[in-house]
Amino acid sequence: MTVPQSPYQKDPRTAYRTGPYRQPSPEQSVPRQGQQLPPLPVTQATLDSRPAGEVLREDGTQLLEHLQVLRRDLHQNPEIGNHTPYTQAKVLEELSGLSLEITTGVSVTSVVAVLRGGKRGDHPVSVLLRADMDALEVAERTGSPFAATNGYMHACGHDLHTSALVGAAKLLSRHREEIPGDVIFMFQPGEEGPGGARPMIEEGVLDAAGRRPVAAYGIHVGPQDYGNFYHVPGPLMASSSNLRLTVHGKGGHGSRPHDAIDPVAAMAEIQVALQTAVTRRFDAMNPVVITVTNLWAGDGAINAIPDKCGFSATVRVLDDAAIDRVRQVITEVASNVAAAHRCAVDIDFEILYPTTKTNPRENAFAAGVWSRQFGSDRVVPMRSPMMASEDFGFVLQQVPGTFVWLGTANPETPQAKREWNHSPLARFDDSILGDQAAALAGVAFERLVAEELLPSPTIHAARQAAQQG
């Protein structure tokens, strides 16, 4: 591959270019999630004649201190949205010198790295590993010695995600000659908004290795019990939509509401009515969550009835098929309540992310890999999905895979005293990074080995044709 030089290039074995990577062919665009395939085999994969998971975990322990330094640097320098140049530069610096094909994004400051395995064969397959890089517009109040001071904060642990994926790239590069396929490392900005996964897909991340990955995996840290992997087959996290509603009335004097058309009263009733509507229109076992997060009315004059007001809300749904019904219910309720108050209403409903749905086959495989690597007691089925959202769902719409939560909280700390993600007081124990990197590397390596043992129908047919030809 011939590529232009980059200011980040540190080693002749490493090349960087600016995407797009490759446009998918029509057959590559067909999602593989719906395929009915037999369970993946237990690989018993080895490295240096030892269990692969054991070797990678030891390697991860050796790399821990370096990953902690990287994580704390990223934590002190958080960036938000799809423009994360400092984080991108740090990732490129860390990957420099590894035998990787590296591409940076055009519309977003992404990094995509491809590792070509030494045993990839004539019809290689690939696996994708993903980490998000962005922070939140939250002012940190942890008092940590490496706390951010720029008004932003890695309050969702993406600094750990990025560092762990760097670690996975280093671990797998160490064993490159033994890898029977390719690994795509997806470093994504903008998960907290406006969304970086979709533009990365549009720029070709899923085809960076030449053909669609057979599987995609990601890990999210949270305040669950330290060291435990929490997983669930099927819907894991909800879709996310933004609702912005403006109620129009007629302004007037606060003493004469009968001469005005008060939009505030209508807005207040709409907010309450929506909470009732979702509990009466939708199955409680398939939840819909509407949470009003911003309210506005008037311009400061306490004695004046405003002519308009409004609110913003986040809407979460576990069933993507129900989103249109949710939008319809919101429109009906808001319009009718507003009309009862002689008001009009404008509604803006924006779908941001789909439901994050894990593939049961890939989820079971990952759980099995990590049970052998870390012990079955550390791999815990979740009792129910979460109503938080993730744009990794865009990847899982096209590539079968799974997404799991990894706990970083002291198990002795009561749940009520644990600060959840997005809190200005959220803390994540970065001593988990060695295991986190090893887990990503382990599932990627063993999935490629499993594909050798039980190839997908397309790969099997291609290999048979090659043998006969």
CATH code assigned at 202: 3.40.630.10
Rounded to the nearest angstrom, the gap between the alpha carbon of residue 121 and the centroid of all alpha carbons in its chain is 31
Q: Quote the CA–CA distance of 431 and 322 in Å, as a whole number.
A: 41
User: Can you tell me the mean pLDDT for 186-212?
Assistant: 96
Cα torsion 426, 393, 352, 71: sign: positive
Structural tokens at position 410: 């002291």
- Predicted confidence at residue 27, as pLDDT, reads 44
Kindly report the backbone phi and psi dihedral angles of residue 142, in degrees, each rounded to the nearest multiple of 5, phi listed first.
-80, -25
Q: Quote the CA–CA distance of 121 and 181 in Å, as a whole number.
A: 7
- C-alpha distances in angstroms, 250 versus 303, 307, 438? 14, 4, 62
Of 337, 353, 369, the residue that ends a domain is 353
- Predicted confidence at residue 33, as pLDDT, reads 52
Tens digits of residue pLDDT in 312-365: 999 999 999 899 999 999 999 999 999 999 999 999 999 999 999 999 999 999
Question: What is the CATH classification number for the domain harbouring 340?
Answer: 3.30.70.360
Kindly state whether residues 333 and 294 are assigned to the same domain: yes
Tens digits of residue pLDDT in 420-434: 999 999 999 999 999
Amino acid code (one letter) for 227: G
Amino acid code (one letter) for 67: L
Q: Quote the CA–CA distance of 272 and 44 in Å, as a whole number.
A: 56
pTM above 0.85, yes or no: yes
Cβ atoms 451, 125 nearer than 8 A: yes
Residue 411: how many other CB atoms lie within 10 Å: 10
Q: In degrees, to the nearest 5, what angle opens at C-alpha 456 toward C-alphas 451 and 459?
A: 90
Of 296, 330, 353, the residue that ends a domain is 353
- Per-residue pLDDT for 21 more than 90? no
Kindly state whether residues 284 and 261 are assigned to the same domain: yes
Tens digits of residue pLDDT in 87-121: 999 999 999 999 999 999 999 999 999 999 999 98
Torsion angle, alpha carbons of 264, 270, 271, 273, to 10: 140
Strands (E) located in 203-324? 215-225, 229-231, 234-237, 239-248, 252-253, 288-297, 304-305, 308-317
Cβ atoms 108, 123 nearer than 8 A: no
- Per-residue pLDDT for 10 more than 50? no
**4 domain residue, yes or no:** no
Cβ atoms 148, 172 nearer than 8 A: no
Count of domains observed in the chain: 2
Nearest CA-CA partner of 238 in 326, 161, 170: 326
- Predicted confidence at residue 32, as pLDDT, reads 53
Tens digits of residue pLDDT in 128-173: 999 999 999 999 999 999 999 999 999 999 999 999 999 999 999 9
Structural tokens at position 219: 């890990």
β-bridge mates for residue 338, sequence order: none
- Per-residue pLDDT for 5 more than 80? no
- Predicted confidence at residue 206, as pLDDT, reads 98
**2 domain residue, yes or no:** no
Give the three-state DSSP class for 357: strand
Kindly state whether residues 292 and 211 are assigned to the same domain: no
Tens digits of residue pLDDT in 216-259: 999 999 999 999 999 999 999 999 999 999 999 999 999 999 99
User: Can you tell me the mean pLDDT for 360-389?
Assistant: 96
Output helix, strand, coil percentages for the chain, rounded to the nearest 5: 35, 25, 40
Q: Residue 72 — very low, low, confident or very high, per pLDDT cuts 50/70/90?
A: very high
- The average confidence (pLDDT) of the chain is 91
User: Can you tell me the mean pLDDT for 292-302?
Assistant: 92
Cβ atoms 168, 440 nearer than 8 A: yes
User: Can you tell me the mean pLDDT for 298-302?
Assistant: 89
- Predicted confidence at residue 44, as pLDDT, reads 84
- Per-residue pLDDT for 12 more than 50? no
Kindly report the backbone phi and psi dihedral angles of residue 153, in degrees, each rounded to the nearest multiple of 5, phi listed first.
-155, 140
Kindly state whether residues 349 and 365 are assigned to the same domain: no
- Predicted confidence at residue 37, as pLDDT, reads 80
User: Can you tell me the mean pLDDT for 289-313?
Assistant: 95
Q: Higher pLDDT residue, 35 or 270?
A: 270
User: Can you tell me the mean pLDDT for 441-453?
Assistant: 95
Structural tokens at position 262: 């008060």
Q: Residue 461 — very low, low, confident or very high, per pLDDT cuts 50/70/90?
A: confident
Percent of the chain with pLDDT over 70: 91
Q: Quote the CA–CA distance of 353 and 116 in Å, as a whole number.
A: 31
Kindly state whether residues 74 and 189 are assigned to the same domain: yes
Kindly state whether residues 368 and 407 are assigned to the same domain: yes
Q: Residue 35 — very low, low, confident or very high, per pLDDT cuts 50/70/90?
A: low
Q: Is 234 left (phi over 0), alpha (psi -120 to 50) or beta?
A: left
CA end-to-end distance (rounded Å), the chain: 27
Q: Quote the CA–CA distance of 394 and 402 in Å, as a whole number.
A: 12
Kindly state whether residues 204 and 295 are assigned to the same domain: no
- Predicted confidence at residue 17, as pLDDT, reads 52
